[in-house]
Amino acid sequence: MRTDPSVFGKVAVLMGGHSAEREISFMSGRGVLAALLSQGVDAHAFDPAERPLNDLKSEGFARCFITLHGRFGEDGTVQGALELLGMPYTGSGVMASSICIDKVMTKRIWLADGLSTPRYVLLRRGDYISADVMAVPDTLGLPLIVKPAREGSSIGLTKVTQASQMADAVAQAAQLDADILCEQFISGDEVTCPVLGFGADARALPVIRIVAPEGNYDYQNKYFTDTTQYIVPCGLPAGEEAAIQQLVLAAYKTLNCRGWARADVMIDAVTRQPYLLELNTSPGMTSHSLVPMSARAAGISYEALCLAVLQSASLDHQPAPLSVGHSV
């Protein structure tokens, strides 16, 4: 059944913002905006870096589609402001958003619930010395990953293959965050799996296998090259794909996410054990983005995906999505 777009009211597509991912956010936001307009939704671009959020109320907006990425958009801050405004928004609520942006806090919760994630060492600015940095490879082995605890899109990430690279890798990550995550490197297949919905109605979409040049799925290869391969159907054995989907759903639910998200997973090449890396609560919606790609494999067009996510807009005190008769 096609939804009457007027039920959504005036919609703000939040894009841009203050984070290191501002450029990518604009790419996502413009795609979503065009899709919503094509479906007759009264949608408008809104950059919180350029305008106060109070304008949402004074200009009669009814709900927000968040395409902000990273800090001040995906970390619970904008979500909290929208809660105060009583403005329903897409994606997870304040607590889930603030936890998921922090890869260390996310790991702690997953580990507490028995969900698999790579071993790690946390370095806090001001609490570690050079000897602590150089000891990390002894704990995690080589290669290993060093990255800021609260950035996305592989910004500030370094794959360390020699102990001599540790100091520079930590210094690079420390420019972006006070907390530096050093993580066991899992050698094997890199996959991602989106989730749509809330609670018992949440469902995992098809798994995508990512094959990047020399295994380097960095910022450049994510957004600005066409050499990375995205394989969907993923080509994994059916039981293995189902196990990953089950793991991702559990990861999503234990963090109390809602609306939509995307989890990144590594599969150990020898044991075939999947390991959760992180969960993105405001996934990209660019031409290279993975949620639209997975949705398309499930028979959901980009436009239908945008409508479904918009339909799920809610507030923390009203977590169940507002039903407007649209299904995907």
- Annotated active-site residue 30? The verdict is no
- Helix H, strand E, coil C: the string for 214-277 is HHCCCHHHHHCCCCCEEECCCCCCHHHHHHHHHHHHHHHHHCCCEEEEEEEEEEECCCCCEEEE
Catalytic residue among 150, 264, 275, 312: 264
Catalytic residue among 17, 19, 21, 294: 21
Enumerate the H helices of the chain as residue ranges. 22-38, 54-58, 77-85, 94-101, 103-112, 130-140, 166-174, 219-223, 238-254, 290-297, 302-311
Catalytic residue among 262, 275, 294, 312: 262
| CB neighbours of residue 7 within 10 Å | 13
How far is Cα 237 from Cα 192, in angstroms, rounded to an integer?
15
- Annotated active-site residue 264? The verdict is yes
Phi then psi for residue 260, to 5 deg, are: -170, 160
Catalytic residue among 89, 120, 217, 223: 223
How far is Cα 35 from Cα 289, in angstroms, rounded to an integer?
15
Catalytic residue among 17, 76, 284, 294: 284
Catalytic residue among 25, 153, 289, 294: 153
Locus of tokens 């408008």: 44
- Annotated active-site residue 223? The verdict is yes
Catalytic residue among 47, 151, 183, 278: 278
Catalytic residue among 98, 280, 282, 312: 280
- Annotated active-site residue 153? The verdict is yes
In Å, how far from its chain's centre is CA 128?
29
Catalytic residues: 21, 153, 223, 262, 264, 278, 280, 284
